[in-house]
Amino acid sequence: MSSKLKQQASYEATFAHNFWKQTLSRVPAIPAGIELAGKTVLVTGANVGLGFEAVRNFLRLRPSLVIMGVRSVNKGEAAAAALRREFLDARIEVWELDMESFRSVQAFAARAERELDRVHVAVLNAGLGKLKFERVDEGGCHEVTIQVNYLTTALLSFLLLPKLRPTTSSSEPGRLSIVNSGASLGLSLEDPGDGRFLDSFDRAEKFNGFGQYGLSKLLIMMFVAKLAQTINPKEVIVNCTDPGATKGTEFFRSVNSWIMSIALRSFMGIIGRRTADASRIYLHSSLVLGEESHGSWTDWIIRAWPKTMYTDQGHHMGERLWDETLEELKFARVEEKL
């Protein structure tokens, strides 16, 4: 488990380690014998990039049903049509999911509650990075990166728990893997003092796009570590999965500087993995790794948490984040899902 890897945390946060991991290591193949017959797989952000390739990788294991959660149903159906041509017997459904909206997340989860007997595997892949400060138009009007990468992802995690839990004592635990990023590894959180912790990320004057993205991913890792303490891994195994730097995705699609765009594409061209390879990491986290990965940071093995999470300050901030998150999401009665 990541909780036991404190001694590795500093090294795993270094550029040298991550450059080595990106350029010299290869994502292992999925072991033979893993099949998904009779099972339902759910992937968010599934019509492009890593999400789309993850669906393709899951379909090779012949699940009974794949749910593609997408913001645009038209684009999702076009992606699903391409997959149906490749996997002729596949059963694929496209469901609308706007991660900027609490209401959309609730509607998505309510549909799962109504229409699905069970979700066996859920990969929460939808995410974004914004280089300019923007607020969502709903709820507490949070900055959009924090809303999408943290708050609505946490909300969907809570709301899917009942469907992820096994229906009989002999059933395997459900799998919940939330996509994370090495951008969080060297970061720490500032104590906002008497103010609300979550509100401290909504200040335009302190906004930095790349920094905010990394912080949003640190928040979700802290959330997963705490969530894992509250749920039984015999029922649901939850972890974070890190695909690493990946070429050919639409991430940071909001970049409007041609210089920045060229720089990012050039960097990804040097160290980025192919989406087909990077998305296979999702399957390692959600199918290959077992109960030992509960609450952990993973790719094809278990990695150390961001080093701040091993400190007293990091532990304190994680507890505070958890309490504020439960308060923020109380409108959805999330504590009843635990």
Q: How far is CA 215 from CA 184, 245, 278, in A?
A: 6, 17, 22
CB 99 within 8 A of CB 71: yes
The answer to whether residue 336 sits within a structural domain is: no
Task: Give domain status of residue 221, yes or no.
Answer: yes
* Residues of the chain by 3-state class (helix, strand, coil), percent to 5: 50, 10, 40
Residue 252's pLDDT is: 54
User: Residue 10 domain-assigned?
Assistant: yes
**Do 319 and 148 form a contact (C-beta atoms < 8 A)?**
no
Q: What are phi and psi of 58, to 5 degrees?
A: -65, -40
How far is the C-alpha of 78 from the C-alpha of 88, rounded, in Å?
Answer: 15
* Chain segment 89-106, per-residue pLDDT in tens: 999 999 999 999 999 999
Stretch 184-207: mean pLDDT, rounded? 87
Range of the domain at 302: 2-330
Q: Is residue 31 part of a domain?
A: yes
pTM exceeds 0.75 for this model? yes
> What is the structure's pLDDT at 269?
62
Does residue 148 fall inside a structural domain? Answer: yes
Torsion of CA 43, 49, 55, 57, to 10 degrees: -140
Taking the CB of residue 69, how many other CB atoms lie within 10 A of it?
29
- Least confident window among 148-152, 216-220, 256-260: 256-260
Q: Is 338 among the domain residues?
A: no
| 254, pLDDT greater than 90 | no
| pLDDT on residue 257 | 60
CATH code of residue 282: 3.40.50.720
- Catalytic residue ranges: 213, 217
| 335 assigned to some structural domain | no
C-beta of residue 244 within 8 angstroms of C-beta of residue 182: yes
Number of domains in the chain: 1
> Has residue 167 got a pLDDT over 90?
no
Burial pattern 143-177, b for ≥16 Cβ within 10 A else e, equals bbbbbbbbbbbbbbbbbbbbbbbeeeeeeebbbbb
* Domain membership flag for residue 337: no
Query: Per residue in 129-149, pLDDT tens?
Result: 898 999 998 766 899 999 999
pLDDT higher than threshold 90 for residue 220: yes
Average predicted confidence (pLDDT) for the chain: 92
* Nearest Cα residue to 127 out of 227, 10, 212: 212
